[in-house]
């Protein structure tokens, strides 16, 4: 049937086609050229039309900056507790003064 040099195995052929499909699929998913092309399309749209803003503010995120810092936790806990105490204190008045979360966000924002 088959020569001695070629051994025919349907299971081998099926596994070869599956691995070839996986290689093609992973090459498509992890293709850096495609990702770069998509990023270039969006970076042109997100660029500010004002020269001063475009020169000083990057249009990409810096992933090396730590968001979960001591400063964030300190300010968050202080302002949350302070807001709760102040709002509870002024809630007993006839005309209560309410400090909203927007005001505390503006106060906690760094200069």
pLDDT confidence of residue 77: 92
Other Cβ atoms within 10 Å of 101 Cβ, number:
10
pLDDT confidence of residue 25: 58
> Does one domain contain both 36 and 51?
yes
> Does one domain contain both 20 and 55?
yes
Please check the confidence at residue 13 and state whether its pLDDT lies above 60.
no
Exposure string for 28-41, b = 16+ CB within 10 A, e = fewer: eeeeeeeeeeeeee
Report the percentage of the chain scoring pLDDT > 90.
13
pTM of the model: 0.42
> Does one domain contain both 74 and 38?
no
Domain extent for 71: 66-111
Could you tell me if 83 and 101 are in contact, meaning their C-beta atoms sit under 8 angstroms apart? Answer: yes
Residues in the chain: 111
**For the chain, how many structural domains are there in total?**
2
> Does one domain contain both 9 and 42?
yes
**pLDDT tens sequence across 36-83:** 666 666 555 567 777 787 788 777 777 888 888 898 899 889 989 999
């Amino acid at each position: 049937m088959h020569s001695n040099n070629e051994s025919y195995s349907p299971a081998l052929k099926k596994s070869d086609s599956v691995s070839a499909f996986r290689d093609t699929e992973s090459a498509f998913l992890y293709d850096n050229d495609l990702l770069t092309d998509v990023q270039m399309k969006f970076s042109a749209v997100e660029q500010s039309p004002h020269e001063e803003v475009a020169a000083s503010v990057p249009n990409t995120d810096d992933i090396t900056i730590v968001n979960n810092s001591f400063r964030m936790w300190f300010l968050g806990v202080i302002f949350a507790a302070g807001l709760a105490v102040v709002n509870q204190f002024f809630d007993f008045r006839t005309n209560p003064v309410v400090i909203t979360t927007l005001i505390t966000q503006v106060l906690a924002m760094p200069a």
